């Protein structure tokens, strides 16, 4: 099975234990950078198309444009 770059790099934020929280508690990580936001948006585009492979570059570029529009 071939995994596209978008699928391979786009995973939901993992819950991680916060150093400030009590042991056993977890928190969600927020996107760290615009690239993370683009990655998450590209995955949403991929999912909305029914997980059809072969459009990873197109999805990434489309996600970049969408994130840039939101920022302005």
Please check whether residue 6 is in contact with residue 35, taking contact to mean a CB–CB distance below 8 angstroms: no
**pLDDT above 60 (res 11):** no
CB atoms within 10 A of CB 56: 19
Predicted local confidence at residue 40, as pLDDT? 96
**pLDDT above 60 (res 6):** no
41-66 pLDDT, tens digit per residue, is 999 999 999 999 999 999 999 999 99
Residue 33's pLDDT band (cuts 50, 70, 90): confident
Total domains, the chain: 1
Mean pLDDT, the chain, rounded, equals: 76
């Amino acid at each position: 099975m071939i995994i596209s770059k978008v699928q391979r790099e786009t995973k939901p934020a993992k819950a991680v234990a916060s150093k400030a929280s009590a042991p056993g508690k977890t928190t969600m990580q927020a996107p760290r950078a615009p690239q993370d936001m683009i990655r998450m948006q590209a995955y949403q585009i991929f999912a909305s198309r029914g997980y059809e492979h072969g459009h990873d570059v197109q999805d990434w570029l489309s996600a970049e444009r969408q994130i840039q529009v939101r920022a302005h």
